[in-house]
Structure 1
């Protein structure tokens, strides 16, 4: 069974690195002022794994852009669920549920692709 949280943590490290080649806005939508300076030495996944995960994230963004923004805010920018809830003026429990649903989407997408990520070896 895949640990989707760890997969997304490693993807976030990859996407945050300068060498990823993927351009993410320096300010996540609706989270201005919450993003702190990120540490340069985050654990990350391989380029191959990251591109597979990026494909799943693109599908999520197309179907549910709000849930996509939650994953990007939490895993890429490292914003805590509590801060996200406060910024969105929602209950933290609801934000946790919405992030779990987005994680489930990514996990399901990876399962449907039937690929073994390099980080799983």
Structure 2
């Protein structure tokens, strides 16, 4: 079962930006930069989902660099673009996208290892590719 982790993290980011009891860092403080309030009307996640993802982020903070956590927070909670983050941190944009990709993979693996079922799963689960279906062969 694969999840669209960008969608999961965007929903978690909206939840974390509005909640004051997140476990890892002061996420709401990260979201109050000018012009980067969470978009009204977009769905967030439930408290159970938010706490499960926040727990995985806490695990990630134990094994990854603080810079990766900061990039994750700036992207999904602060709502900044990868270009803005790269310029603000004075690092190549490639490093930002690589950090985000590896963070998404780590968090997805953590959720799978903990056997977490999210309330948002019906919306964020990616369809499995059909392995048994053969591709049509054109014969000339």
TM-score over 0.5 (shorter chain): yes
Which residue of structure 1 lines up, in the alignment, with residue 12 of structure 2? 11
Contact 2:86–2:96, Cα closer than 8 Å, also in 1: yes
Question: Which ranges in structure 1 are unaligned for 5 or more consecutive residues?
Answer: none
Which residue of structure 1 lines up, in the alignment, with residue 93 of structure 2? 92
TM-score of the superposed pair, with normalisation by structure 1? 0.84
Moved more, 87-96 or 2-11: 87-96
Question: Which ranges in structure 2 are unaligned for 5 or more consecutive residues?
Answer: 123-140
Structure 1 residues 69-91: Cα deviation after superposition (integer angstroms, max 9, x where no partner): 11111000101100111112122
Contact 1:60–1:67, Cα closer than 8 Å, also in 2: no
Contact 1:35–1:79, Cα closer than 8 Å, also in 2: no
Which residue of structure 1 lines up, in the alignment, with residue 29 of structure 2? 26
The alignment's C-alpha RMSD in Å is 2.1
- Going from structure 1 to structure 2, the CA distance change for 1:40 and 1:89 (only over 3 Å counts) comes to closer
Structure of greater Rg: 2
- Going from structure 1 to structure 2, the CA distance change for 1:63 and 1:56 (only over 3 Å counts) comes to same
- How many Å separate the matches in 1 of 2:7 and 2:53? 12
- Going from structure 1 to structure 2, the CA distance change for 1:27 and 1:15 (only over 3 Å counts) comes to closer
Which residue of structure 2 lines up, in the alignment, with residue 47 of structure 1? 47
Contact 1:60–1:105, Cα closer than 8 Å, also in 2: yes
- How many Å separate the matches in 1 of 2:62 and 2:91? 23
Superposition deviation, residue 40 in structure 1? 5.5
Which residue of structure 1 lines up, in the alignment, with residue 137 of structure 2? none
Contact 2:38–2:79, Cα closer than 8 Å, also in 1: no
- How many Å separate the matches in 1 of 2:10 and 2:35? 17
Moved more, 74-83 or 60-69: 60-69
Structure 1 residues 20-77: Cα deviation after superposition (integer angstroms, max 9, x where no partner): 533435247xxx9x65241462420000101100100001112112211111110001
